[in-house]
Structure 1
Amino acid sequence: MTFEELSLNKSLQRALIDQGYTTPTPIQEKAIPIILKGEDLVGCAQTGTGKTAAFAIPILNHLHHMVGSSKKAKKVRALIVTPTRELAIQIGENFEQYGKYTNLTQLTIFGGVSQVTQVDQLKKGVDILIATPGRLLDLNKQGFIDLDDLHFLVLDEADQMLDMGFINDVKKIVKLTPDNRQTLLFSATMPMAIRELADTLLKSPKYVTVSPVSSTAETVKQKIYFVSKLNKRKLLYHLISEENLSGVLVFSRTKHGADNVVKALKKHGVKAEAIHGDKSQSARQRVLESFKAKETTVLVATDIAARGIDIDQLPYVINFDLPNVPETYVHRIGRTGRAGHEGIALSFCSADEKPYWKDILKLTNVHVKTVDNHPFPYTDEELKEEAHSSANAKKKPANRSGSRPNTAATEPKAEKKPAAKSSPKSRKSASSKENKKRWY
């Protein structure tokens, strides 16, 4: 199938030619015809497979026929809701590229910045609105957004919206839209919670799944390093410096952890930056642009912030912390090895993360090379210590929502006990451990 066979309007076809689009990707080939027929849809595909174009192209095609060259006051006909500012900006850019030869207007709104400019544009009228949940509901409450004439509602990255606690906001947004809307739900993973959400919000939806979430791209070479938590930063710097790596996306479990990794790398002269929700919008955009321009060598990100990173030729992904949801691993390493290019995915696994690694291998069913000849292998003492920590962690209730709890914040305080005499060996062990902490 080609885009010409989809019978799209000429203005849209012209824009796609400008973008070099000739043949739809699998998700586009399956989803676009369904959307053009006016049916609700649930689409599941890995990152980098063209999900945005899969819903943007048919929406633009329909609205172009509806609005045409009309000069009447513009109303919001399509609403795309997405969890992060980076994703909203990325989607807005795609709509602008695909619809540049149409008379359609689009606006991207998100929090963390002044609403003045956004409100001014809303007052002028827009056809397509891309928004994060918080800012959308806020401006609606203020009376600046009316969704009574909405034709399309798109929930993008629905799994992450669930993980970020946006489910109630999403339900509020749905109530603001007409019942006869066409609803499209897209997600990189398809946990049961997403299916349950689809059943409540969509009408007899069609399900489209491409590149099942259990699969990893053949163009990605995967390696695993078993290393203690104390030595992860040492190993990261070792690999970056010895292999002269550049264009490295590192995944950290927490925002605090991401900042600490960056500080450690910068002490050794590595051009590293962090991107996560605690940074301002302008700071996140600056960091992202610097990384894309190859001015920054290493970008350390949390999973949610990384959803807005769209780089075609990203050579390296490193899992500094393993995710506790195996599908997230597939999503992470899917950021490299795109468009036929080869990529390398390296993972660090500490003793308490071994159960996560077993889950990942079970899901992906691939052989991953174990690298044994690195400078920071487990010591017997570290194995015993981390095995003990892992055993204690198992007693805590697991968080399977897709995000891991901040153990630094949730770990119970140790009870005070009478001081006991320590042996020379234990004192030496404690001293050694303290020295390792001081390395950074």
Structure 2
Amino acid sequence: MSFSDLGLAEGIVRAVTEQGYNAPTPIQTQAIPAVLTGGDLLAGAQTGTGKTAGFTLPVLHRLASSGTPHKTRTSPRAIRALVLTPTRELAAQVEESVRAYGKYTNLSSAVIFGGVGINPQIKLLQQGVDILVATPGRLLDHMQQGTVNLDNIEILVLDEADRMLDMGFIRDIRKVLAALPPKRQNLLFSATFSDEIKALANGLLNNPATIEVARLNSTVEIIEQKIHPVDRDRKHPLLAHLIKSRSWSQVLVFTRTKHGANRLVEQLGKDGISGMAIHGNKSQTARTKALAEFKDGKLQVLVATDIAARGIDIDQLPHVVNYDLPNVPEDYVHRIGRTGRAGATGEAVSLVCVDEHVMLKDIEKLIKRKLPAEIIVGFEPDPNAKPQPIQLRSQGHGGRQPQQPGRQGGGSRQSQAAAKPANGTPRPGNRSGTSSSNRNGNQPQRSAGRGR
């Protein structure tokens, strides 16, 4: 099957082909026709399977083919589609895909997120855009200041909805929903399903089509996964040994805390290994620079906290390392999903000390498989070592303690309260921080991504 077989406009198919894609992925094959019908959609698929194109392509088609865009007294065009994402990096990549796939339409797009000045975003919104990609916190900032008009939204997309709930955005999402027109199309995409996601879907979606691609909460089969047992104070030497002895040229490493990410970069630097950290305390300029250099192959190691797990989309990324196991098992799926994308092979290695054995069991229970263990000679763990308490997160890290999600990372403000369950969500009736197609402005530095 080709993209033209799915009913997409010729210009959109042409743009997709120019990006190097000729055949749709399974999620795209199912999601695109469902979105084109105009009904609501609940879609679950593993990360790296093409979810972004699964909604951007049909959204572009629907808006481009539905006639003259809405206009208001203050704007040459009104926002007709809103895409909410949990993190800045993911927001930037989604909007990049919108621009790439919509290059032969007359639609414009923009991205807004926190961590940068709001005034350039205000000016951009005043010019008018058709498709807005945003993080919840910064969107609320604009709503409170009256600098964004959501009265003409025709399509709402919640991308990586499970991650937004994990990060405590449910209150923000409810506030956004309350400001939208009741008659609209709702699309909810999630890598994993939970009771909270099901509750959100029940309150948001009206008779949705449901799509599931591959087993939910599973890991991509073509990713080679293994663990290396090691003592907690030997993780850094083991990582440096693996990078050097195996000639790893591009490695994405996940740590549990921001402080741990910074410290690991310093330690690797002393070993002659170039690395940079990306997390919530870094400025957006620094985060964009690190990600761009890593994508371009100028940087050997990128060390990230979970805040960036779903905003990193890199062709042929060969290695992901869990320097620390995540305390939320689902985050393991998201982390290793940075490799093995779009059919490519990949390797995911976890360095596991005695403190993390319970976390490992939780991960193996989630993915329904036991991860093979390989002890590296010279780094054998002490069989008599006793587990010690683990610092689950650093303030603003973007992960969460069990039962206590924080609201870090994607928005412009720090968390003030833990998220509430999604039960009771009202049912509607039926890179700098700004970027815009067809306009000059403060553009985030980007490398070409797969667009998923």
Q: TM-score, normalised by structure 1?
A: 0.85
What is the one-letter code of the residue matched to 1:14? R
Choose which of 156, 167, 171 in structure 1 pairs with 2:170: 167
What are the residue-to-residue correspondences of 1:122-201 with 2, within 5 Å?
Answer: 122-201=125-204
Structure 2 equivalent of residue 371 of structure 1: 374
Name the CA shift for 1:136/1:214 in 2 (closer, same or farther; >3 Å): closer
- Provide Cα deviations, 1:304-360, integer angstroms capped at 9, x if missing partner: 212111102101011111123333222221211223322111111111211221222
Q: Which range moved further: 141-150 or 319-328?
A: 319-328
Q: Contact 1:83 / 1:161 at 8 angstroms: preserved in 2?
A: yes
> 2:264 matched to 1:269?
no
Name the CA shift for 1:204/1:54 in 2 (closer, same or farther; >3 Å): same
- For residue 225 of structure 2, give the secondary structure of its aligned residue in structure 1: strand
Structure 1 equivalent of residue 285 of structure 2: 282
Q: Contact 1:325 / 1:400 at 8 angstroms: preserved in 2?
A: no
Structure 1 equivalent of residue 33 of structure 2: 33
Q: Which has the higher contact order (CA 8 A, sep 6+)?
A: 2
Name the CA shift for 1:87/1:373 in 2 (closer, same or farther; >3 Å): closer
Name the CA shift for 1:138/1:392 in 2 (closer, same or farther; >3 Å): closer
Q: Which range moved further: 19-28 or 56-65?
A: 19-28
Task: Provide the C-alpha distance between the structure 1 equivalents of 2:349 and 2:269, rounded to a whole number of angstroms.
Answer: 21
Task: Provide the C-alpha distance between the structure 2 equivalents of 1:213 and 1:352, rounded to a whole number of angstroms.
Answer: 28
Task: Provide the C-alpha distance between the structure 1 equivalents of 2:154 and 2:69, rounded to a whole number of angstroms.
Answer: 18
- For residue 8 of structure 2, give the secondary structure of its aligned residue in structure 1: coil
Runs of 4+ in 1 over 6 A off after TM superposition: 69-72
Name the CA shift for 1:77/1:359 in 2 (closer, same or farther; >3 Å): same
What are the residue-to-residue correspondences of 1:189-338 with 2, within 5 Å?
Answer: 189-338=192-341
> 2:362 matched to 1:359?
yes
- Provide Cα deviations, 1:190-249, integer angstroms capped at 9, x if missing partner: 111111111112212222111223432232212211112111112111111222211100
Q: TM-score, normalised by structure 2?
A: 0.83
Task: Provide the C-alpha distance between the structure 2 equivalents of 1:295 and 1:392, rounded to a whole number of angstroms.
Answer: 32
Task: Provide the C-alpha distance between the structure 1 equivalents of 2:401 and 2:122, rounded to a whole number of angstroms.
Answer: 43
Point out the structure with max Rg over C-alpha.
Answer: 1
What are the residue-to-residue correspondences of 1:58-77 with 2, within 5 Å?
Answer: 58-67=58-67, 73-77=76-80
- For residue 239 of structure 1, give the secondary structure of its aligned residue in structure 2: helix
Task: Provide the C-alpha distance between the structure 1 equivalents of 2:390 and 2:106, rounded to a whole number of angstroms.
Answer: 61
Name the CA shift for 1:390/1:88 in 2 (closer, same or farther; >3 Å): closer
* Post-superposition offset of 1:392: 13
Task: Provide the C-alpha distance between the structure 1 equivalents of 2:29 and 2:42, rounded to a whole number of angstroms.
Answer: 14
When the two chains are superposed, the root-mean-square deviation of aligned CA atoms in Å is 2.4
Task: Provide the C-alpha distance between the structure 1 equivalents of 2:31 and 2:217, rounded to a whole number of angstroms.
Answer: 20
- Provide Cα deviations, 1:37-85, integer angstroms capped at 9, x if missing partner: 1111111111111111111111110100124589983111000011111
- For residue 261 of structure 2, give the secondary structure of its aligned residue in structure 1: helix
Structure 2 equivalent of residue 412 of structure 1: none
Structure 2 equivalent of residue 15 of structure 1: 15
- For residue 66 of structure 1, give the secondary structure of its aligned residue in structure 2: coil
Structure 2 equivalent of residue 5 of structure 1: 5
* Post-superposition offset of 1:92: 0.7
Q: Which range moved further: 253-262 or 62-71?
A: 62-71
Structure 1 equivalent of residue 48 of structure 2: 48
Task: Provide the C-alpha distance between the structure 1 equivalents of 2:43 and 2:67, rounded to a whole number of angstroms.
Answer: 27
What is the one-letter code of the residue matched to 2:270? K
- For residue 215 of structure 1, give the secondary structure of its aligned residue in structure 2: coil
What is the one-letter code of the residue matched to 1:30? Q
Structure 1 equivalent of residue 442 of structure 2: none
Q: Contact 2:167 / 2:405 at 8 angstroms: preserved in 1?
A: no
Q: Contact 1:312 / 1:338 at 8 angstroms: preserved in 2?
A: yes
* Post-superposition offset of 1:400: 4.8
Task: Provide the C-alpha distance between the structure 2 equivalents of 1:244 and 1:316, rounded to a whole number of angstroms.
Answer: 11
* Post-superposition offset of 1:94: 0.2
Q: Contact 1:213 / 1:327 at 8 angstroms: preserved in 2?
A: no
Q: Contact 2:191 / 2:217 at 8 angstroms: preserved in 1?
A: no
What is the one-letter code of the residue matched to 1:13? V
Structure 2 equivalent of residue 90 of structure 1: 93
What is the one-letter code of the residue matched to 1:216? T
Structure 2 equivalent of residue 99 of structure 1: 102
Structure 1 equivalent of residue 447 of structure 2: none
- For residue 100 of structure 2, give the secondary structure of its aligned residue in structure 1: helix
Q: Contact 1:68 / 1:103 at 8 angstroms: preserved in 2?
A: no
* Post-superposition offset of 1:372: 2.0
- For residue 223 of structure 1, give the secondary structure of its aligned residue in structure 2: strand
- Provide Cα deviations, 1:142-186, integer angstroms capped at 9, x if missing partner: 222111111001111111111211110110000010111111111
Task: Provide the C-alpha distance between the structure 1 equivalents of 2:142 and 2:389, rounded to a whole number of angstroms.
Answer: 46
Q: Which range moved further: 5-14 or 167-176?
A: 5-14
- For residue 366 of structure 2, give the secondary structure of its aligned residue in structure 1: helix
Q: Contact 2:223 / 2:339 at 8 angstroms: preserved in 1?
A: yes
> 2:120 matched to 1:117?
yes
Q: Contact 1:67 / 1:104 at 8 angstroms: preserved in 2?
A: no
Q: Which runs of 5+ in 1 are unaligned?
A: 406-440
What is the one-letter code of the residue matched to 1:181? R
Greater share of residues in helix: 1
How many residues were matched structurally?
398
- For residue 250 of structure 1, give the secondary structure of its aligned residue in structure 2: strand
Q: Contact 2:192 / 2:217 at 8 angstroms: preserved in 1?
A: no
